[in-house]
Amino acid sequence: MSPKCVDINTMKEKAALFRKEIIQVVHSAGSGHPGGSLSAVEIFVTLYECIMNYRSGDPKWEGRDRLIISKGHATPVAYVTLANYGFFPKEELKGFRKFGSPLQGHVHTKVPGIEFNTGSLGHGLSVANGIALGAKLLNKKFKVFCLLGDGEIQEGSIWEAAMTASQHKLDNVCAIVDYNKIQENGPTDEIKTLEPLLSKWNDFGWHVVEVNGHNFHELISAFDKFQSIKGKPSVIIAHTIKGKGVSFMEGNCKWHGKAPQGDDFKNAMAELESKIEE
């Protein structure tokens, strides 16, 4: 049930703002995962701006769509998104990765809007399936989205879950692969290639859509298509750029899990500022 989308310009502005805030929170924390957060910004904005059904003032509203953030290290983009969409006050972002703050290093249900604690890769799709199976048993109509990393789908447990979703015809499940092609220690192709990725998911019985993960039109269209697919789960393979938005982070595995400090931080912020002014 995607509400009337949408003002693409607003979404682009939000994306630009979120990127800046991501760099800010990771820098303040002194640790965190900027690369894989920056690659997922458009995905998050699309979901929260015009795809998912939710009430930010009532994060446990029964009728809501669920998002399982299986790539649990994407806390910077997740928390920045939730704060900006009204789930909690923005000044709490200062507490990211700080002792005593609910904003744990990997997504945690202490944070309003987070459905499940993750952080060990490969778990989220099974959990999403379980929620979806439960929904079908109870005849509930909400959708379950599951954000996966590309390195993450090297975990065999993801494919166990892929088989289950297909076997049980979970057409209320939509996975999104943040296909930024880089994992912690290098390009996925050099470590354990996922290719041919589209045909893998297709052969596992999923409806597959391939998009430019930084293009709002394509993302919206892909999510809309999911809503009409019956009898099989859907996956959106979103081609993205790790570190997108900061030139020296783009495509660079070094920024998978490193906080920018000093000049790196200044330069990143300057670049992102200039994009906001555009």
CA distances from 106 to 52, 69, 177, 193, 272 (A): 22, 10, 18, 25, 24
Distance from C-alpha of 145 to C-alpha of 115, rounded to nearest angstrom: 11
Residue 278, SS3 per DSSP: coil
Residue 122 binding another protein, by CB under 8 A = yes
Nearer to another protein, 95 or 119 (CB): 119
Q: Closest approach of Cβ 53 to another protein, in Å?
A: 16
- Asked whether 6 and 50 are in contact (CB, 8 A), the reply is yes
Nearer to another protein, 62 or 278 (CB): 62
Residue 120 binding another protein, by CB under 8 A = yes
Residue in 127, 256, 247, 123 with CA at minimum distance from that of residue 191:
256
Contacts of 262 by beta carbon, 8 Å cutoff, 6+ apart:
none
Residue in 236, 244, 227, 198 with CA at minimum distance from that of residue 12:
244
- Asked whether 119 and 90 are in contact (CB, 8 A), the reply is no
Q: What pairs with residue 238 in β-bridges?
A: 178, 211
Nearer to another protein, 120 or 193 (CB): 120
Residue 74 binding another protein, by CB under 8 A = no
Nearer to another protein, 151 or 245 (CB): 151
Distance from C-alpha of 223 to C-alpha of 86, rounded to nearest angstrom: 22
Residue among 127, 175, 194, 211 that touches another protein (CB under 8 A): 127
Residue among 93, 128, 174, 220 that touches another protein (CB under 8 A): 128
Q: How many residues bind another protein (CB under 8 A)?
A: 31
Work out the number of other CB atoms within 10 angstroms of the CB of residue 62: 7
Nearer to another protein, 10 or 167 (CB): 167
Q: What is the DSSP letter of 87?
A: S
CA 227 to mean position of chain CA atoms: 18
Q: Closest approach of Cβ 164 to another protein, in Å?
A: 5
Q: Closest approach of Cβ 62 to another protein, in Å?
A: 10
Site track for another protein across 90-109, x = CB under 8 A: -------------------x
Q: Closest approach of Cβ 54 to another protein, in Å?
A: 16
Residue 19 binding another protein, by CB under 8 A = no
Residue 114 binding another protein, by CB under 8 A = no
Site track for another protein across 130-169, x = CB under 8 A: xxxxxx-xx-x---------------xx--xx-xx---x-
Residue 115 binding another protein, by CB under 8 A = yes
Distance from C-alpha of 173 to C-alpha of 98, rounded to nearest angstrom: 34
Q: Closest approach of Cβ 237 to another protein, in Å?
A: 21
Distance from C-alpha of 143 to C-alpha of 125, rounded to nearest angstrom: 13
Residue in 103, 172, 80, 94 with CA at minimum distance from that of residue 134:
172
Residue in 238, 240, 200, 242 with CA at minimum distance from that of residue 218:
238
Nearer to another protein, 26 or 132 (CB): 132
Nearer to another protein, 137 or 277 (CB): 137
In the complex, which residues of this chain contact another protein (CB under 8 A)? Answer: 109, 115-120, 122-135, 137-138, 140, 156-157, 160-161, 163-164, 168
